[in-house]
Amino acid sequence: SQKFQQFRGLCEQNLNPDANPRPTAQDLAGFWDLLQLSIEDISMKFDELYHLKANSWQLVETPEKRKVSMEQCGGEVQGQIPGRQ
């Protein structure tokens, strides 16, 4: 709510030709992008809550990424230059 009020104030300053400093349209777009990130974060948290509720409030186990050993990938490291260590 506070960030939206701040954005509104910046918009009003942008429309006021006597404002000093006067935020540019690019300033407003950048601030809006930051607001969008916050909104998306909150939306994801609500999605997590809905999933928890659908699963009777039990955490859903996510499969861990499988680690690959050097032997399993032929003992080579990607990006390694032959003949150099």
How far apart, in whole angstroms, are the C-alpha atoms of residue 44 and residue 38?
A: 10
With cut-offs at 50, 70 and 90, classify the pLDDT of residue 8: very high
pLDDT bin (cut points 50, 70, 90) of residue 76 is: low
Query: Across residues 54-71, what is the average pLDDT?
Result: 75
74 or 48: whose pLDDT is higher? 48
**Stated pTM of the model:** 0.61
Q: How many CA atoms lie within 13 A of 75 on its CB side?
A: 1
Paired tokens of 57: 């409030």
Say which range, 8-17, 22-31, 75-84, has the weakest mean pLDDT: 75-84
Q: How many CA atoms lie within 13 A of 23 on its CB side?
A: 18
**Residue 75 region by backbone torsions, left for phi larger than 0, else alpha for psi between -120 and 50, else beta:** left
